[in-house]
Structure 1
Amino acid sequence: MRTETVAVVIVTLNRAELLTRMLDGLAAQTRRPDAIIVVDNASTDHTREVLDARTDLPLHVTTTERNVGGAGGFHIGMRAAYDGGWDRIWLVDDDVVPDPDCLAVMMGTDEACLMVVRDDLEGHLVEKAALRFDLTNPLAIRPKTASVDSTYATRADLPERVEVENVAFEGFMVRREVVTTVGFPDPEFFIFYDDVDFAIRARRAGFHIWALRDARLVRQLDFNQQHDLAGWKGFYMFRNLFVVHFRYGENVLVRLKPFLIALVVVLLSPVRGGRGEAANVIRAIRSARGMRRLSGSAAPPR
């Protein structure tokens, strides 16, 4: 059998020190990547100098003219990897470090969609990939009803592989056949839920997603998914959650759930986030209605 090739895609923005650790981790892999595609989201720190110095790695660097968000960066990177003809594409963030055998474990697994299992710096399991992402129950305010780390206390408790229903673009690997079938990450998300959207499309196309116990990434920062819903990130959290429901809700009640969430947020805003949160959720519902369909740039290649 022909040995498969793999391109790593990294999206980075003004985190040169973290990026250095990630690149060191890739340089230490027992199975070296064939290409490393770095999408620099218009960084203003010394990211360029870090990349220019890494002559030990097969880097292909794209610097955007403006910050296109994680979603835009992974769209650019996956498209470049696909157009480059690589057999597999491994999406990673700039704030993780893989164990030396991480890529070898993934490349040795004969599946189309794979997810690493992440730890924090203290060795605690922090893998948030959903075992169940419920888009059938309108009463499930949060569709992620079970995750890897809420189900298994430690890595030792995990079976060798666990099927998951969503992923993070922080260690997710696909074969090119998946991209051929379902397309690319949707850049219109900017941040948040672009990975969920892609995973749903892959599963609906018949692909299974497996989290591998022995493929380990270590997050270099605290895993904090609590964002200020009255701030700019709050808008994207609301809007993109609503988009996922509009696009993939499996019944009319689930597709109407964003309107109920928006109403509740507005009613509770005086005792929660105030005017900022209410304004965000109103803008979010309006914007999400215009994103009911996958953007054309994310469609499967022709």
Structure 2
Amino acid sequence: MPSPPSRVVAVVVTFNRLDQLKVTVARLLDAARTEGLQRVVVIDNASTDGTAAWLDAQTAAQAADGPLVVHRRATNGGGAAGFETGMRLSAEWFDPDWMLVMDDDARPAPGAITAFHASDRTGAMAWAAAVYFPAGGICDMNRPTLNPFWHRGMVTRTLLGMLRGRGRDGFHLTQHDYDARAYRAVDSGSFVGLFVSRAAIETVGYPDGSLFIYGDDVLYSLAMRQAGGQILFDPAIRFEHDFTTMTDADQRFKPLWKTYYHYRNLLLVYRLASGPWFALVLPLMVAKWTLKVRFHSGERGQYLALLGRAIWHGLIRRTQVDHAQVLEWAEPK
């Protein structure tokens, strides 16, 4: 007798992007009707743009045991706190086999959940989807990665790529991996289209909600790998990410305060990933990040101040920082 399909719960974190959230919720509710998605858990990070009222209307309009479940946080804890909250509540309320995590501007392509159910997924602790922009190109920030410090020869290839301005290609999956029809073992995936198993929760717990944004997914993935778990990339599972924070055209974060979280948490990632190599990696990264001041005409002072704090706080592992303080640091002086 065939085993029943795995129970999958989607976890979506949102803050003040109601137009995007509407598209994502509609796509997920359609998957609940037609593709076997069990529940849609939305974590509202104290949005102020009408999100709460819209979500209330959606839950009121569904049946008593409808798939959409909403939890509103009292404060905005960023995506990191949202994912930790959402995964904890999903485990407590529904005990799913898998949690599918995503931002409010990301959603599974039609058929993605069906593709997940179509194969035996028990061999991995997590599965990473192939994430594309709405126009069709690969979403670079969501490319799964290999840890170059765990694979022979990859450190050299990555460093040489950095000299040519293509360091990411040294340890991120490429177009070839997306075009292939085979699974690919990876060391980390993003919280856009990542299926996290119950075994992962039992083994490494939940993501670190104190990080606010950026890096929580990589640190969580690396923890799974260090615990002996396998993460597999499946190009047949397609996701869409309507991402607009930074573009190749200007090479800067918008708004600027995101710079602090990005570099602080990236330093934490490099420390974990590089292990004994960290003392050699740190000065290279600091130099690279400092040179990016050239992209910040009109705000170079704020950028360097944020970067300095990010590096220091990353080194001392300080993640308990009030977001209002970060916003103040980013203000013009």
TM over 0.5: yes
Alpha carbons of 1:257 and 1:17: their partners in 2 closer, same or farther (altered >3 Å)? same
Q: Which of 210, 230, 234 in structure 2 is aligned with 1:212?
A: 234
Aligned equivalents of 2:254, 2:169: Cα separation in 1: 18
Superposition deviation, residue 289 in structure 1 = 2.4
Superposition deviation, residue 73 in structure 1 = 0.5
Contact 1:5 1:86 in 2 (8 A): yes
CA RMSD across the alignment = 2.8
Partner of 1:192: 214
Which is further off, 124-133 or 17-26?
124-133
Alpha carbons of 1:292 and 1:158: their partners in 2 closer, same or farther (altered >3 Å)? farther
Matches within 5 A, 1:222-301: 222=244, 224=246, 226-228=251-253, 231-251=256-276, 253-262=277-286, 265=289, 268=291, 273=296, 274-291=300-317
Partner of 1:15: 17
Which is further off, 161-170 or 218-227?
218-227
Contact 1:19 1:95 in 2 (8 A): yes
Q: Which amino acid aligns with 2:199?
A: E
Alpha carbons of 1:52 and 1:271: their partners in 2 closer, same or farther (altered >3 Å)? closer
Aligned equivalents of 1:278, 1:223: Cα separation in 2: 19
- State whether structure 2 residue 182 is matched by structure 1 residue 160: yes
Provide the secondary structure at the position in 1 that maps to 2:170.
strand
Q: Which amino acid aligns with 1:290?
A: I
Partner of 1:122: 135
Partner of 1:183: 205
Which is further off, 187-196 or 220-229?
220-229
Q: Which of 19, 28, 44 in structure 2 is aligned with 1:40?
A: 44
Partner of 2:331: none
Superposition deviation, residue 182 in structure 1 = 0.9
Aligned equivalents of 1:216, 1:237: Cα separation in 2: 26
Alpha carbons of 1:229 and 1:24: their partners in 2 closer, same or farther (altered >3 Å)? closer
CA-to-aligned-CA distance 1:220-245 (integer Å, 9 cap, x gap): 34584643399211111111111112
Aligned equivalents of 2:255, 2:282: Cα separation in 1: 17
Alpha carbons of 1:107 and 1:224: their partners in 2 closer, same or farther (altered >3 Å)? farther
Q: Which of 134, 147, 159 in structure 2 is aligned with 1:133?
A: 147
Aligned equivalents of 1:163, 1:292: Cα separation in 2: 32
Provide the secondary structure at the position in 1 that maps to 2:171.
strand
Q: Any stretches of 5+ residues in structure 1 without a counterpart?
A: 294-302
Provide the secondary structure at the position in 1 that maps to 2:48.
coil
Alpha carbons of 1:248 and 1:98: their partners in 2 closer, same or farther (altered >3 Å)? closer
Aligned equivalents of 1:264, 1:7: Cα separation in 2: 40
Superposition deviation, residue 264 in structure 1 = 6.0
Partner of 2:171: 146
Alpha carbons of 1:108 and 1:255: their partners in 2 closer, same or farther (altered >3 Å)? farther
Q: Which amino acid aligns with 1:202?
A: M
Aligned equivalents of 2:55, 2:126: Cα separation in 1: 29
Q: Which amino acid aligns with 1:247?
A: L
- State whether structure 2 residue 26 is matched by structure 1 residue 24: yes
Sequence identity (%): 26
Contact 1:181 1:205 in 2 (8 A): yes
Partner of 1:297: none
Q: Which amino acid aligns with 1:94?
A: D
Aligned equivalents of 1:270, 1:178: Cα separation in 2: 39
Aligned equivalents of 1:223, 1:158: Cα separation in 2: 29
Partner of 2:69: 60
Superposition deviation, residue 9 in structure 1 = 0.5
Contact 1:7 1:37 in 2 (8 A): yes
Q: Any stretches of 5+ residues in structure 2 without a counterpart?
A: 320-333
Contact 1:229 1:235 in 2 (8 A): no
Provide the secondary structure at the position in 2 that maps to 1:53.
helix
Superposition deviation, residue 79 in structure 1 = 1.0
Aligned equivalents of 1:94, 1:173: Cα separation in 2: 16
Superposition deviation, residue 44 in structure 1 = 0.5
Aligned equivalents of 2:100, 2:292: Cα separation in 1: 40
